[in-house]
């Protein structure tokens, strides 16, 4: 080998090294640390979704159910003349996975304190799955009728929430629920087991339609299984739902015991939920 060719080769070699390996920085493999999020709102109509808030977020809720059914027509302005059941609530995210909510309804002046915890997430499965649990205690501070003992003013409930979503558009929820002391006016303690289910289809970034069915599978049922449907508007900080339902109760301990109207007979009532995210 001639000296010159070696030098040329070396020069080419060094250029090659420079061209190939002059920069040692490598792009890191992307890791997806984001929590799985399916439904947009932490709540369907009455049933919870497994969604929580970000740590430190507050959520204020005001919801109404107008008691006259729309079947009564313009005489009661389709329900707007009232009377009305209402719920006010404030939730706070203690962590990214735990939300505590204190609520009050004007029905029997029912206060409830509930905690919802995002338990499990499965991102890589055929369909994503999010599992949450919710537990609550409610006290009816001013029952309109006599109750047997002061202990009967308390109600307890627990719910397991299974959520999935198809193609980021169709959210599906299954919410087996248990309520202890379903009817505070009955002499004996009643339990209710229900199998709540909810669907929500997201038409656009802002608009979705949703429906809910909460059949009682075992135990006490007020009169009818609850059903509701409506639409949801979503903005930067609000969820605004306008719905029709046969169950005018709002607080979970009261809602889970069933409806007093028959939707099979067209006895739907107007209602709305407004939630507002707050950060202080």
Partner 1 sequence: MRKILFVCLLISVEFFSQGTELHVKQGSKNHVEFISDAPFGKFSGVTENIDGYMYWEGNNYTTNSSLYFEVDLKTLDTGIGLRNRHMRDNYLQTDKFPDASFKGKITNVTPAAQGPFKVDADGEMFIHGVTKYIKISGVLTKSGNSDYNLKTNFSIKLSSYNIDIPSIMMVKLSEVIELQLNFNLFSVNKAEGKK
Q: Considering only CA atoms, which of 272, 263, 275 is closest in space to residue 69?
A: 263
Length of the chain: 280
Distance CA 87, CA 268 (A): 19
Q: Which is nearer to partner 1, 53 or 259 (CB)?
A: 53
What is the per-residue binding string for partner 1 in 55-94, x denoting contact by CB under 8 A? Answer: -xx-----------------------------------x-
Other Cβ atoms closer than 10 A to 2: 7
Are β-strands 207-214 and 269-278 bridged in parallel, bridged antiparallel, or unpaired? Answer: unpaired
Q: Considering only CA atoms, which of 103, 115, 74, 145 is closest in space to residue 249?
A: 103
Give all strands (DSSP E) within the chain, no chain letters. Answer: 58-66, 84-93, 98-105, 110-122, 129-140, 154-166, 170-180, 191-202, 207-214, 216-219, 226-234, 238-245, 269-278
What is the per-residue binding string for partner 1 in 251-280, x denoting contact by CB under 8 A? Answer: --------------------------x-x-
Distance CA 10, CA 15 (A): 8
As measured in angstroms, the least distance from the Cβ of 253 to partner 1 is 27
Tokens representing 7 are 């030098």
Q: Does 5 bind partner 1 (CB under 8 A)?
A: no
Q: Does 142 bind partner 1 (CB under 8 A)?
A: no
Q: Does 36 bind partner 1 (CB under 8 A)?
A: no
Q: Does 126 bind partner 1 (CB under 8 A)?
A: no
As measured in angstroms, the least distance from the Cβ of 123 to partner 1 is 13
Site residues for partner 1, 209-238, by CB under 8 A, read 235-238
Q: Which is nearer to partner 1, 139 or 238 (CB)?
A: 238
- For residue 5, the 8-state DSSP code is H
Q: Does 242 bind partner 1 (CB under 8 A)?
A: no
Of the candidate spans 31-39, 224-232, 242-250, 263-271, the one that interacts with partner 1 by CB under 8 A turns out to be 31-39
Q: Which is nearer to partner 1, 128 or 158 (CB)?
A: 128
Q: Which is nearer to partner 1, 202 or 224 (CB)?
A: 202
* Radius of gyration from C-alpha coordinates of the chain: 27
What is the per-residue binding string for partner 1 in 91-120, x denoting contact by CB under 8 A? Answer: --x--x------------------------
CB 107 within 8 A of CB 247: no
Tokens representing 100 are 């505590």
Measured in whole angstroms, how far is the alpha carbon of residue 82 from the centre of its chain? Answer: 27
Q: Which is nearer to partner 1, 118 or 152 (CB)?
A: 118
Of the candidate spans 20-28, 130-138, 141-149, 210-218, the one that interacts with partner 1 by CB under 8 A turns out to be 20-28
Q: Which of 38, 47, 53, 153 binds partner 1 (CB under 8 A)?
A: 53
Distance CA 187, CA 216 (A): 21
Residues forming contacts to partner 1 in the complex (CB under 8 A) are 1, 3, 6-7, 10-11, 13-14, 17-18, 21-25, 27-28, 30, 32-34, 37, 40, 53-54, 56-57, 93, 96, 205-206, 235-238, 277, 279
């Amino acid at each position: 080998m001639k000296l010159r060719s070696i030098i040329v080769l070396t020069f080419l070699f060094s250029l090659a090294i420079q061209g190939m390996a002059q920069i040692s920085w490598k792009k890191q493999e992307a890791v997806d640390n984001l929590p799985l999020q399916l439904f947009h709102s932490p709540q369907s109509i009455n049933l919870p979704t497994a969604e929580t808030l970000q740590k430190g977020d507050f959520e204020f809720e005001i919801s109404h159910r107008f008691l006259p059914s729309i079947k009564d027509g313009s005489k009661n302005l389709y329900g707007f003349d009232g009377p009305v059941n209402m719920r006010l609530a404030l939730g706070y995210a203690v962590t990214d996975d735990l939300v505590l909510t204190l609520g009050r309804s004007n029905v029997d002046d029912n206060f409830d304190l509930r905690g919802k915890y995002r338990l499990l997430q499965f991102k890589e499965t055929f369909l994503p799955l999010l599992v949450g649990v919710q537990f609550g205690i409610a006290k009816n501070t001013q029952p309109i009728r006599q109750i047997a003992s002061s202990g009967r003013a308390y109600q307890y409930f627990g719910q397991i929430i299974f959520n999935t979503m198809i193609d980021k558009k169709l959210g599906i929820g299954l919410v087996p629920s248990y309520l202890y002391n379903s009817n505070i006016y009955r002499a004996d303690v009643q339990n209710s087991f229900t199998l709540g289910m909810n669907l929500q289809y997201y038409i656009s970034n802002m608009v979705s339609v949703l429906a809910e069915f909460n059949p009682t599978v075992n135990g006490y049922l007020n009169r009818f299984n609850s059903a509701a449907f409506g639409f949801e508007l979503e903005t930067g900080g609000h969820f605004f739902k306008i719905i029709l339902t046969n169950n005018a109760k709002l607080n979970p301990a009261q809602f889970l015991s069933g409806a007093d109207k028959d939707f099979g007979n067209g006895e739907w009532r107007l209602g709305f939920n407004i939630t507002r995210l707050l950060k202080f």
